[in-house]
Homo-oligomer: A and B are copies of this chain.
Amino acid sequence: MMRMLVVSLLSIGAIVTSVHVSANEPIQPIKAVKPENPKMVELGKMLFFDPRLSKSGFISCNSCHNLSMGGTDNIPSSIGHAWYQGPINAPTVLNANMNLAQFWDGRAKDLKEQAGGPIANPGEMAFTHELAIEVLDSIPQYRAYFKQVFGSEKINIDSVTTAIAAFEETLVTPGSRFDKWLEGDQAALNKIELEGYKLFKSSGCAGCHNGPAVGGTLYQKFGIHTPYKTENKAEGRKAVTGKETDLHVFKVPTLRNIELTYPYFHDGAVATLEEAVSTMGKLQLDRTFNEQEVASIVAFLKTLTGKQPNIRLPILPPSTNKTPRPQPFE
């Protein structure tokens, strides 16, 4: 009886601490998502995995945003149609719905707007929206799914990107050790991880990397104190706004699942989290961390790896005699 009382008091304590901790922290826990429209999500998943949305019939969204690998391809810059070397590192699709906008330079306002891009990008899927629709339209099961979800058999790029975005919205990663700590489980982080988090806040990282996604909430110049040395041509926001002051201003990326989304930075030039952290210290904060400080921040960052989405591989409906054939080698 006595013990039960203690436990109860402890639980109440935990709840109180939980509320307390979260409220004062720059980072909020990620909430699980319960899809409003599971059928639309399922359709979006099929499209996300369907390489027939590419000219070659070989490349799907999942090729570059591999959900087995943190929603990325883990190479410096992506491989696109005909082995085209992409210009920039592929960001994760995990928690991407929390971004203020999509792409490194924020040129797409949301996931739906973004999703139309890669299909028609010659260096990615190299297809056309018209042909992608023609492919889907030639497959009776797809027509039936679209009918079920959108009330019409008529497939268009709007319904395609709506469904893909609905699927992507489910790609959140709650349940990280850091979130458990935020929610009051003091034992969820060890001493070094906690020190890393304190340093992350006190040194100024959290000024840019904050919110539930630990990033994605604002644009910032990369290379505030010292320019970043890269051969990468990306101009950042300047490409969107045309303003010279926006040169090398990028969306601050999410640090959720950062352990999984190597290599780092928009050029993917940095292979280790240690180097990324120490570069951030120098370039963004004019601060040189010693080895131990770097190690503690890295230890903290690794606690941001959440529960990865539980994906049942979709079974794609077969092409028919009317389906336009892929053109892998043309």
* A contacts, CB < 8 Å to B: 49-52, 56-58, 63, 66-70, 73-76, 79, 82-83, 85, 259-260, 262-263, 271-272, 274, 308, 310-316, 318-319, 321, 325-326, 328-329
Contacts and interface: CB of A to CB of B under 8 A. Distances in A.
A319 B74 contact: yes
Contacts of A50: 68
Contact of A63 (B58, B69, B82, B325): B58
B271 A328 contact: no
B75 A58 contact: yes
A137 B310 CA distance: 26
B79 A316 contact: no
18 contacts: A51-B69, A52-B74, A58-B63, A58-B73, A58-B79, A67-B313, A68-B313, A68-B314, A68-B315, A68-B316, A69-B316, A74-B319, A79-B328, A83-B83, A262-B319, A263-B325, A272-B321, A274-B321
A318 B259 contact: yes
A312 B315 contact: no
- Give the dominant DSSP class at A's interface: loop
A313 B315 contact: no
Contacts of A56: 75, 79
Nearest to A79: B58
Copies in the complex: 2
A85 B326 CA distance: 14
Contacts of A79: 56, 58, 328
Contacts of A49: 68
Given A50-B68, A74-B326, A83-B329, 10 more contacts: A56-B75, A57-B75, A58-B79, A67-B313, A68-B313, A68-B315, A69-B316, A75-B326, A82-B83, A83-B83
Contacts of A328: 75-76, 79, 85
A57 B72 CA distance: 11
A313 B312 contact: yes
Contacts of A67: 313
Nearest to A257: B318
A321 B271 contact: yes
A312 B67 CA distance: 11
A46 to B, nearest CB: 8
A57 B74 contact: yes
A311 B271 CA distance: 31
B57 A73 contact: yes
A5 B182 CA distance: 64
